[in-house]
Amino acid sequence: MYCRADLIYVKLLNEAFLRFSKASGLHANLENSSLYIAGVADHTKEELLKELGYVAGVQPFRYLGVPLVSKKLSVNQFLPLIEKIAA
C-alpha cells in the first residue's frame, strides 16, 4: 500500500487496513512486515515508524527470496525461489 509520507495520510491508510483486517479476518504479521519511506526527513520517518509499529525496510527487498528491482534479474537471483519450488 502506498500513500503520502505524512502522519495524517499514514493514519488514514492504517485505519483502512485495520478495517479490512477486521472484516476479512486477515492480519499483518508485524515481525515479517516493513515500512518503506523515501524522500522525507529522518524525524518524520521515526514518527511514522513509531505510530505504526513497523520496522524500516531497506531497498532492494526480497519476496520469496527474489530481489524486487526494476532491472532484469539473472538466473542466479531466481535460485532461492527455484529451490523452494523444487523442494
Strand partners for 63: 66
Domain boundaries, the chain: 1-56, 62-87
* Lowest model confidence (mean pLDDT) among 28-32, 45-49, 79-83: 28-32
- Between CA 22 and CA 85 the distance in angstroms is 32
Indicate the pTM of the whole model.
Answer: 0.61
Residue with cell 539473472: 74
Q: In 10 A of CB 63, how many CB atoms? A: 8
Residue 21 has pLDDT above 90, yes or no: yes
